[in-house]
């Protein structure tokens, strides 16, 4: 069952349409990136899915329940971009408090607090008041409170904000751990490199509407058709040889010793290379290419983002 299923959600603020036709489906164990320029409707979309803003229309379920279902919220973790904690609390007190809010008994809340303080590198600061925490320390603690109760679905808004390279590496590792245990992560970030290194799929939002959803394979975008573009430079190419590629690939362009292919599956790349060599081609270069996330972002939402 999908952890999020939305169909045609939209939201008006007065006469302004903030989100139009939000339609998506996210599976358990998936890290889903949500990208778009400022003002594209990302925060409003998240608030609707969390039940913090009422949609003007459309339908959606989260963890199989209607939007805003109170009991369902105990199964969700959330780290907003701008958050404030009670600065007079210690780090351990804050996590125990959030554990109790999530329905954990006192003993389990204490154990989880100790575990997560250690996991995010704050065990030594467990008794320190939050008013003395740096921005990076607060960000680590915020991630810990979002994950403290082992939620089935986690919404993270700019989770690496204010973190140094070591902190960003830690976040990536923790997100992969969540995927491994079957939790879904809805990740909103302006740092394309972070999205590229962690997400399974990414949605591009522009003017309140999802314009494309693309899978990421080994940190690179798959083509819109799901295949792998390949640049080949080889001697001995000919029409008959290229016609024999039909079971694996489509010829996009051919001029002399330069060939562009769209290989249907990544697993077919060795077969394509072996076929060309067996057919007498002398391969000088065989280069699979995928658009970077930055290139796709610029192409899909660039005009609105000023790119």
Structural domain includes residue 300: no
| Residues above pLDDT 90, as percent of the chain | 66
235 and 96 belong to one structural domain: no
pLDDT of residue 257: 94
What is the tally of structural domains in the chain? Answer: 2
pLDDT range class, residue 220, cuts 50, 70, 90? low
Tally the residues of the chain. Answer: 307
29 and 86 belong to one structural domain: yes
Measured between alpha carbons, how far is 277 from 279 in angstroms, rounded to an integer?
Answer: 5
pLDDT of residue 293: 81
239 and 212 belong to one structural domain: no
Q: Which of 193, 221, 249 is the last residue of a domain?
A: 221
40 and 161 belong to one structural domain: yes
Measured between alpha carbons, how far is 237 from 258 in angstroms, rounded to an integer?
Answer: 9
251 and 143 belong to one structural domain: no
Judge contact between 9 and 209, C-beta under 8 A.
no
The DSSP result for the chain, as a single string, is: --SEEEEEEEEEETTEEEEEEEEEEE-TT-EEEEE--TTSSHHHHHHHHHTSS--SEEEEEETTEETT-TGGGGGEEEE-SS----TTSBHHHHHHHHHHHTT--HHHHHHHHHHHHHHTT-GGGTTSBGGG--HHHHHHHHHHHHHTT--SEEEEESTTTT--HHHHHHHHHHHHHHHHTT-EEEEE-S-HHHHHHH-SEEEEEETTEEEEEEEEETTEEPPTTS-EEEEEEEES--HHHHHTTTTTEEEEEEETTEEEEEES-GGGHHHHHHHHHHTT-EEEEEEE----HHHHHHHHHHHHHT-
The residues, ordered by sequence, that sit 6+ positions from 228 with a Cβ below 8 Å of its Cβ are 222, 262, 263, 264, 265, 266, 269, 288, 289, 290
Q: Tell me phi and psi for residue 111, to 5 degrees.
A: -65, -45
100 and 128 belong to one structural domain: yes
Structural domain includes residue 294: no
234 and 197 belong to one structural domain: no
Q: Which of 164, 199, 221 is the last residue of a domain?
A: 221
Inform me whether the pLDDT recorded for 54 exceeds 90: yes
214 and 267 belong to one structural domain: no
Q: Which range of residues forms the domain containing residue 94?
A: 4-221
Domain harbouring 263, CATH code: 3.30.70
Structural domain includes residue 297: no
236 and 100 belong to one structural domain: no
What does the pLDDT look like over 94-138, one tens digit per residue? 999 999 999 999 999 999 999 999 999 999 999 999 999 999 999
35 and 176 belong to one structural domain: yes
75 and 174 belong to one structural domain: yes
pLDDT of residue 225: 54
Domain harbouring 168, CATH code: 3.40.50.300
Structural domain includes residue 307: no
Inform me whether the pLDDT recorded for 259 exceeds 80: yes
61 and 202 belong to one structural domain: yes
Structural domain includes residue 306: no
User: Considering only 90-104, 154-168, 175-189, 206-220, which range has the smallest mean pLDDT?
Assistant: 206-220
**Other Cβ atoms closer than 10 A to 82:** 8
């Amino acid at each position: 069952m999908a952890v999020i299923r939305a169909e045609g959600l939209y939201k008006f603020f007065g006469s302004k349409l903030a989100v139009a036709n939000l339609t998506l489906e996210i599976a358990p164990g998936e890290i889903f990136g949500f990208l778009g320029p400022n003002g594209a409707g990302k925060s409003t979309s998240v608030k609707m899915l969390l039940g913090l803003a009422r949609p003007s229309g459309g339908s959606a379920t989260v963890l199989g329940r209607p939007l805003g279902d109170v009991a369902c919220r105990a199964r969700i973790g959330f780290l907003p971009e701008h958050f404030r904690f009670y600065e007079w609390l210690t780090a351990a007190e804050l996590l125990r408090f959030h554990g109790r809010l999530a329905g954990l008994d006192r003993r389990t809340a204490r154990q989880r607090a100790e575990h997560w303080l250690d996991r995010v590198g704050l065990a030594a600061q467990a008794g320190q008041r939050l008013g003395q925490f740096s921005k990076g320390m607060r960000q680590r603690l915020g991630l810990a409170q979002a994950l403290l109760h082992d939620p089935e679905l986690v919404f993270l808004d700019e989770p690496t904000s204010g973190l140094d390279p070591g902190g960003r590496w830690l976040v990536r590792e923790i997100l992969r751990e969540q995927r491994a245990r079957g939790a879904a992560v809805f990740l909103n970030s302006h740092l394309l490199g972070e999205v590229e290194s962690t997400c399974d799929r990414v949605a591009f939002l522009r003017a309140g509407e999802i314009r494309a959803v693309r899978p990421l394979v080994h940190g690179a975008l798959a083509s819109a058709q799901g295949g792998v573009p390949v640049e080949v430079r080889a001697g001995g190419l000919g029409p008959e040889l290229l016609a024999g590629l039909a079971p694996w690939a489509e010829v996009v362009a051919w001029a002399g010793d330069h060939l562009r292919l769209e290989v249907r599956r990544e697993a077919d790349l060795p077969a394509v290379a072996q076929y060309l060599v067996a057919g007498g081609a002398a391969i000088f270069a065989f280069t699979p290419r995928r658009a970077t996330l930055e290139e796709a972002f610029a192409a899909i939402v660039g005009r609105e983002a000023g790119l």
